[in-house]
Structure 1
Amino acid sequence: MRAVKTVISTAGNLKRENPTMNEVNLICLRAIRDANVPKFLQDDLKLFNGIVSDLFPKIREKPVDYGILEEAIRKSCIKENLKDVDGFVSKCIQLYETTVVRHGLMLVGPTGSGKTKSYEVLAAAMTSLKGQPAASGGNYEAVSYFVLNPKSITMGQLYGEFNLLTHEWTDGILSSLIRQGAAATDTSKKWYMFDGPVDALWIENMNTVLDDNKKLCLSSGEIINMTMMFEVQDLAVASPATVSRCGMVYLEPSILGLEPFIECWLQKIPGIMQPFSQQLASLFKRFLKVSSHAVPAFLWLGTCQLR
């Protein structure tokens, strides 16, 4: 039911964006694609496209022009010394679309797929477009994000805890951050990014946040209303209850390939090494690409910002 609700919400946004569009099938097709494509891998997309073509055999979908958002994302990539790979830009746009229809979402993928940079680039792009009309309706707003690792601290330090001896409530890191965001007078969006493994030890307490009521009920009696994002490598230990409540955006290293890492690294090498940049690029092409561990080995060097 949550997946169906997401498709319906997406279809409603598309109809408001294109009020003169009379083809119901086209709106349904775009809504199904927008709600499901971000969570599929490259191999899954082939099967999904086959199913969609059977369901809508006579519908020919036109490419969607994201205009100023795509341009802003590419400018943000260049500003942060990143390669504006088409696949990476598409994932940033999919992340934006997911934030429109979901208040809880997960960025899933192995190291080197661009999870961290995707939301950082999107936040910078949305901030640069503040006040301009958005493709999903309304206007773009500035974005502030807060990152914490939930597995590096205890449950009491994360959510807050009640001391049985003194009968005092001590705020946790998450509750303090959210209270600051709720008390802020600006209209910017607040993204709370949990960068760490998702498991039942701490995520189950957030099921009410990820539901439609969006409420985090603390032992202090307070009720807090905010949006949550998660950055994880996999969902091996996540419960179905949590997964069904979140929008998913999967990222793969194959989307980027090795070229962006090499180009970004060569642009940041010290000036004394600049005369040898072409030779280094040739060596990377001859030896690094043929290695089965090319991307992990390159990431291990710690010389490229994209992760």
Structure 2
Amino acid sequence: MRAVKTVISAAGNLKREHADMNEELICLRAIQDVNVPKFLQDDLKLFNGIVSDLFPEIKQEPINYGTLEESMRTVCAKKNLKDVDGYINKCIQLYETTVVRHGLMLVGPSGSGKTKVSVAPVTLTAALTALKGQPSVSGGVYETVQTYVLNPKSITMGQLYGEYDLLTHEWTDGILSALVRRGAASMDQEKKWYMFDGPVDAVWIENMNTVLDDNKKLCLSSGEIIKLTDVQDLAVASPATVSRCGMVYLEPSILGLSPFTDYIIFHYFINLYGQL
């Protein structure tokens, strides 16, 4: 039901943005925008075959992301990253997923570009921040993105969410609860992204279920409930958690070997000329 709701939300956004668009085309684009990011390259062939059977007479024009794509490529140049088309497409898919989901996961093996897509901030967050105030492809305008990156596996659950002291019975805030409380109280229009840069763990991710759900509430063991404003593998994550999140799957094949070989050759000549 959550997956169906996401497709309906995406279709609603498209209908508001393009009131005169054919409704079958709106439905097709919504299904693709929600599902394509989570599929492997081999899965896409099967998915495209199913979609072509469901919408046999619908011809879809390529979407022009204009300033967003241009900003992403500019950021890649500044960050000394190779602006591979497959990588840029994944950045765009991540952006489209943030429009319809307030919680999502970047998954995939090492070497697929997960870190450089959004963390630190890199590529997407920097591109969106650079476009502040300009009209967005999904309606509205682009806003500055503030990122808060933490590794949930490097600290205890008490340090992450907060805990009571067993001796004094005093409540001590956790890192996440302090960040979310400050973000919820903020009156500006900037987007706040709380990024857990680390492996999914059955303990800490289950405590996020109420945040990822439609009510968007962080429930602490102190009894406090913080309401959010509108804003590598999942082996141990339960279906309840996965169904609450948008998924963007990245794989090394979208990058190829060119970015790595160019990087090695570049540094080889830098070191060579440095020695000369």
- Fold-level match, TM-score > 0.5? yes
Identity %: 75
Deviations 1:141-195 (A, max 9, x none): 0111111111111111110001232121001111122223234443211111111
CA distance in 2, matches of 1:86, 1:114: 12
Cα 1:240/1:271, change in 2 over 3 Å: same
Secondary structure at the aligned position of 1:242 is classed as: helix
Is 1:39–2:41 an aligned residue pair?
Answer: no
Q: Which moved more, 1:26-35 or 1:158-167?
A: 158-167
CA distance in 1, matches of 2:143, 2:110: 29
Partner of 1:7: 7
Cα 1:265/1:222, change in 2 over 3 Å: farther
Partner of 2:236: 237
Cα 1:26/1:274, change in 2 over 3 Å: farther
Which amino acid in structure 2 is aligned with residue 73 of structure 1? M
Secondary structure at the aligned position of 2:194 is classed as: strand
Cα 1:226/1:115, change in 2 over 3 Å: farther
CA positional deviation for 1:274 = 4.6
Secondary structure at the aligned position of 1:89 is classed as: helix
Is 1:127–2:126 an aligned residue pair?
Answer: no
CA distance in 2, matches of 1:240, 1:270: 49
Task: Return 5+ residue gaps in structure 1 as ranges.
Answer: 228-232, 277-307
Secondary structure at the aligned position of 1:202 is classed as: helix
Secondary structure at the aligned position of 2:215 is classed as: coil
Q: Which moved more, 1:6-15 or 1:184-193?
A: 184-193
Partner of 2:77: 78
Deviations 1:23-48 (A, max 9, x none): 11110000000000000000000000
CA positional deviation for 1:265 = 4.0
Which amino acid in structure 1 is aligned with residue 15 of structure 2? K
Which amino acid in structure 1 is aligned with residue 64 of structure 2? D
Secondary structure at the aligned position of 2:45 is classed as: helix
CA distance in 2, matches of 1:36, 1:265: 35
CA positional deviation for 1:238 = 1.1
Partner of 2:180: 178
CA positional deviation for 1:270 = 6.7
Cα 1:268/1:131, change in 2 over 3 Å: farther
Deviations 1:219-260 (A, max 9, x none): 233222348xxxxx1111111110010000000001101111
TM-score, normalised by the number of residues in structure 2: 0.93
Contact 1:82 1:264 in 2 (8 A): no
- The within-5 A match list for 1:78-227 is 78-119=77-118, 120-226=122-228
Secondary structure at the aligned position of 1:90 is classed as: helix
Q: Which moved more, 1:81-90 or 1:157-166?
A: 157-166
Contact 1:73 1:89 in 2 (8 A): yes
Contact 1:199 1:239 in 2 (8 A): no
Partner of 1:66: 65
Cα 1:168/1:66, change in 2 over 3 Å: same
Secondary structure at the aligned position of 1:88 is classed as: helix
* Count of matched residue positions in the alignment of Structure 1 and Structure 2: 270
Cα 1:270/1:181, change in 2 over 3 Å: farther
Partner of 1:294: none
CA distance in 2, matches of 1:88, 1:71: 13
RMSD over aligned CA atoms reads 1.7
TM-score, normalised by the number of residues in structure 1: 0.84
CA distance in 1, matches of 2:184, 2:8: 29
Partner of 2:263: 264
Partner of 1:282: none
CA distance in 2, matches of 1:7, 1:89: 23
Contact 1:199 1:238 in 2 (8 A): yes
Task: Return 5+ residue gaps in structure 2 as ranges.
Answer: none
